[in-house]
Structure 1
Amino acid sequence: MSDIPDFIPEELKIINETLAERFGHKVDTQLVDTEIRLYKGDRELTQVPAVYWEANECHFIIIKKGKNRFHNQFFYGVNKQYGTGIDEFDDIHKCTVTLLQVQADHALNEGMTKE
């Protein structure tokens, strides 16, 4: 088990409020654990907390890599995984908004929008 702290209530509130604003309704999120390489040179995986949700046939995840250290990703399946081009955020709101914006742009470009 790692010493990465869990999401605090304020971080979860920001995520949930941002999702409700984006989708127009409450989105069910799940607190999960995942394994990642915390740093590019790491050989070992570290278990870290994450927030996961699904919307419009897309899967989203925000991973906590440490205090005020977040990573995000969206995917449509094992072979269709996407990032935002930013490896790490120090602000949970910016992390969430950027993830939603990049995914919305991707869906629009791919003709996948379904509001």
Structure 2
Amino acid sequence: MNIPDFTDSELWAVRSTLKERYGKEVEPQLADTEVMLGGEVGGMAWCPALFWSAKGANFAIVKLGAERYRAYFYYHPDYQLGTGIDSHDNIGDCMVSVLQVEADHVRKQKISNDHNPAKTDEAAPDKPDTSPFFWGD
């Protein structure tokens, strides 16, 4: 399956959304990643992706096909989070969704930490490490 690269208009939408969200230029990096397509297509495929880091989180938008996108964010590569939506048909909606879900996640973590402060610095062994994993700015 040959999935087209991101178009100039898709890249503009991503860059514009990032600038609005962070108040500065954040340049997404082009990459390729192998993902499970799901849906009717199914199977694994190499797909174009956009990757960026901001405020301790890492983000990826994967292009699954023409006008089909999936978003992820993570603080550590072993613990990835999605939006709860398998795919979006508009890259702008995909961007807003992943940025909102990540902001909500940060807010919930802060509230949880404020109400339940840790008694020790050690993480519980059954919980994944969600500490920020920086790949550089």
Is TM (by shorter chain) over 0.5? yes
- Structure-1 separation of matches of 2:35 and 2:101: 22
CA distance in 2, matches of 1:83, 1:99: 7
Larger Rg: 2
Displacement of 1:78 in angstroms is 2.5
Structure 1 residue 37: Cα displacement: 1.2
Cα distance between partner residues in 2 of 1:57 and 1:45: 29
How many positions carry a matched residue from both structures? 110
Structure 1 residue 108: deviation in Å? 1.2
Kindly provide the CA deviation profile for residues 58-94 of structure 1, in whole angstroms up to 9, marking residues without a partner as x. Answer: 0000000000000000011123210111000000100
Q: What's the TM-score once normalised by structure 1's chain length?
A: 0.90
Equivalent in the alignment of 1:99: 98
Extract unaligned runs of 5+ from structure 2.
112-137
Partner of 1:23: 22
Alpha-carbon distance in structure 2 between the residues aligned to 1:37 and 1:85: 15
The percentage of counterpart residues that share the same residue type is 41
In 2, Cα distance between equivalents of 1:37 and 1:3: 14
2-structure distance, mates of 1:54, 1:78: 12
Alignment of 1:109 with 2:88, yes or no, is no
The alpha carbon displacement at 1:6 in A equals 0.3
> Given residue 33 of structure 2, which amino acid in structure 1 is its aligned partner?
T
Return 71-80 or 95-104, whichever deviates more.
Answer: 71-80
Q: 1:111 aligns to what SS in structure 2? A: helix
Q: Residue type of the partner of 1:37?
A: M
Question: Structure 1: any 5+ residue segments left out of the alignment?
Answer: none
Instruction: Give the 4+ runs in structure 1 shifted more than 6 A.
Output: none
Alignment match, 1:80:
79
What is the Cα-based RMSD across aligned positions, in Å?
Answer: 1.6
